[in-house]
Amino acid sequence: MGNGLVVPAIVAVTLITVGIGFYGLRLARTTSDFLVASRVVSPTWNAAAIGGEYLSAASFLGVAGLVLKYGVDVLWYPVGFAAGYLALLLFVAAPLRRSGAFTLPDFCELRLGSRRLRTLATIFVIFIGWLYLVPQLQGAGLTLATLAGSPYPVGALVVAVVVTANVALGGMRAITFVQAFQYWLKLTALAVPAIFLALQWQADGRPAVTPPEGPTFRTATTVVVEHRAVLTLPDGQTREVRPGDELTFAAGEPVPEVSGVANSTTDWLLPSAAGSDDRGLFATYSLILATFLGTMGLPHVLVRFYTNPDGASARRTTLVVLALVGGFYLFPTIYGVLGRIYTPQLLVSGHTDAVVVLLPEAALGAGTTGRLLAALVAAGAFAAFLSTSSGLLTSVAGVISTDVLGHGSVRGFRLATLIAGGVPLILALNVSGLDVSQVVGLAFAVAASSFCPLLVLGIWWRGLTDAGAAAGILVGGGAAVAAVLLTVLGPPLTGWPATLTAQPAAWTVPLAFTVMIAASLATRRRAPADVSRTMLRLHGPDTLRL
């Protein structure tokens, strides 16, 4: 790819990120400054920062790629990613802020007074954090490889080093400014090209997204296959392709049907129907559960709530986040839909995650406009990798420095950052075959099956005990972790076992709630004696200052 503007755009984003990091470093002095921005962050900044931190590679690249590939059924990803903040708002935001807990392990100890539960929560925080970091680094590697032709490890390495250094040197105060800036950058980088794309589509005479004869190549195209698949050619022949195969198509030639992709117009355009596709329906509901309930259990999301001054402002911040994130998610769908027209070769190559970064040039041509917009999108994508990785790294490092290394000094936090950033980098460099959005979805499933029941029951039910909470996390969260490991590392499955492990939330979340409640009832005597005081602290209005 010969777009000379991409690398300067990415370098500019990186430099600005580091620059704001240093600006923040000059302000950060004590450990409290470092970790929670001294809680002087205004709600608007905070909401933009939460949004900036949350919109990851999966949102910026993955959603559009999934829409291109699977169609209407995966629109539940953006809906769920946004709705997670509603669940957070309804059940968690204000009480969690009033609890004064900075991390999930804090909440465990504060509510249930158990060191052992704290350790268990720490393990899950680190697991979820790393599970979420790996695809961010991979996305960076793939994007840079696609746009600048660099080898895969370069992008992952760049993001990992920049983020680790920035977090280690600047801490969260710097990160708040960085994140807020990155939200607006990401929104601009997706919205502006989307407008140009829509205009181009008009100018091209509104080509049909779902022509009756199926998608066709608009121009002569050479495709390099990246994932093993079976192609069904228009004449009914099948052909197995492997990574590295090169296929050439003439302009106007129909796109062959690819196994594992929603090719036919009906599959792509219409939701899965009962009877014919029960597994699809189960997967949809599983996805809804995971994304709606998983957000509240993501470690980097929770940390941010501590920077609100009180419970009421935490609630308002969450509402603003919901609006900001919802506004952002209007755009990826446009890319996925237009990708059907302008970049159908991605369906064949299997590299659908690249649709966002390739579409501007594919639709607008390699002229100045197309190249500028492509560079803008690339900058936005890098903003996504940098900001989400920063947030995750801050929270994982915070947990490691306080709970594993055992001292909360600035030096300890820096050491923890190196550990927290190094492990996922090594993982990302060694496993490149994972699908960005799928892994992120699995992280949501684990969070929904472990921390969601803990938070919801801990905040609203007096009867929760430490033994019950530990049992629920171990059984529900453990089942989700097992499903993740089986999906990522295990042999390829088909039929129901594949669905149950690839989208586990629909059975692991109810399991976690059931076990947590049953075990708490069985160990009723272990309920903390100060539960009334805790409830007062969690739910008492801020204005009373109880």
CB of 543 to other proteins, least distance (A): 5
Among 25, 113, 169, 254, binds other proteins (CB under 8 A): 113
H or E element that contains 248: strand 246-249
State the DSSP H helix or E strand holding residue 156, giving kind and residue range, or none if neither: helix 152-203
Cα gap 15→327, rounded to integer Å: 27
The CB-of-182 to other proteins minimum distance in angstroms stands at 20
Question: Which 266-305 positions form the footprint of other proteins (CB under 8 A)?
Answer: 269-274, 281, 284-285, 288
Contact 333, 64 (CB under 8 A): yes
**Shortest CA distance to 233 belongs to which of 254, 261, 214?**
254
Distance between CA atoms of residues 73 and 51, nearest Å: 24
Q: Which of residues 8-47 bind other proteins (CB under 8 A)?
A: 29-32, 35-36, 38-39
Tell me the site size for other proteins, rule CB under 8 A: 82
Shortest distance, position 511 Cβ to other proteins, whole Å: 19
Site for other proteins in 176-215 (CB under 8 A): none
- Residues between 388 and 447 with contacts to other proteins, criterion CB under 8 A: 398-399, 402-403, 407-411
- Cβ proximity to other proteins: between 407 and 525 the closer is 407
200 vs 534 by CB, closer to other proteins: 534
Contact pick of 310, 404, 418, 427 for other proteins (by CB under 8 A): 310
Distances (CA, A) of 251 to 150, 344, 451, 468: 29, 12, 52, 62
Closer to other proteins by CB, 11 or 40: give it.
Answer: 40
Site track 462-481 with other proteins (rule: CB under 8 A), x = hit: --------------------
Say which residues have a Cβ less than 8 Å from residue 249's Cβ, sequence separation at least 6.
217, 220, 221, 222, 223, 255, 345
How far apart, in whole angstroms, are the C-alpha atoms of residue 51 and residue 184?
Answer: 9
> Whose Cβ is closer to other proteins: residue 525's or residue 545's?
545
* Segment interacting with other proteins, rule: CB under 8 A, options 11-19, 354-362, 444-452, 534-542: 534-542
Task: Please list the residues that pair with 254 across neighbouring strands.
Answer: 216
Smallest CA-to-CA distance from 285 within 398, 445, 420, 174 is with 445
Which residue's CB is nearer to other proteins, number 227 or number 539? 539
Q: Which range in 54-62, 355-363, 482-490, 528-536 contacts other proteins by CB under 8 A?
A: 528-536
The one among 105, 170, 193, 339 contacting other proteins by CB under 8 A: 105
Residues 315-344 close enough to bind other proteins by CB under 8 A: 315-316, 318-319, 322-323, 326-327, 329-330, 333
What would you measure as the largest C-alpha separation in the chain, in angstroms? 75
Coil/strand/helix, residue 364: helix
Nearer to other proteins, 526 or 539 (CB): 539
Q: How far apart are CA 350 and CA 120, in angstroms?
A: 38
Which strands make up the sheet holding 238-241, listed edge to edge?
A: 238-241, 229-232, 257-258
Q: Quote the Cα angle for 347-368-381, to 5°.
A: 50
Binding mask 54-83 for other proteins (x = CB under 8 A): ------------------x--xx-xx--xx
Please identify, using beta-carbon distances, which residue of 227 and 279 lies nearer to other proteins.
279
Least distance to other proteins, CB of residue 200, Å: 18
Q: Are 102 and 301 in contact (CB under 8 A)?
A: no
Using rule CB under 8 A, residue 94 touches other proteins:
yes
Residue 137 or residue 287: which is nearer to other proteins going by CB? Answer: 287
The tokens for 371 are 């190249």
**By C-beta, is 372 or 448 nearer to other proteins?**
448
Shortest gap between Cβ of 452 and other proteins (angstroms)?
Answer: 13
Contact pick of 245, 253, 267, 542 for other proteins (by CB under 8 A):
542
Phi, psi of 530 (to 5 degrees): -95, 25
The secondary element (H helix, E strand) that includes residue 21 is helix 6-27
Give one DSSP letter per residue of 260-301, joined into a string.
TS--SHHHHHSPPPTTT-HHHHHHHHHHHHHHHHHGGG-HHH
Answer for which of 249, 306, 382, 451 binds other proteins (CB under 8 A) is 306
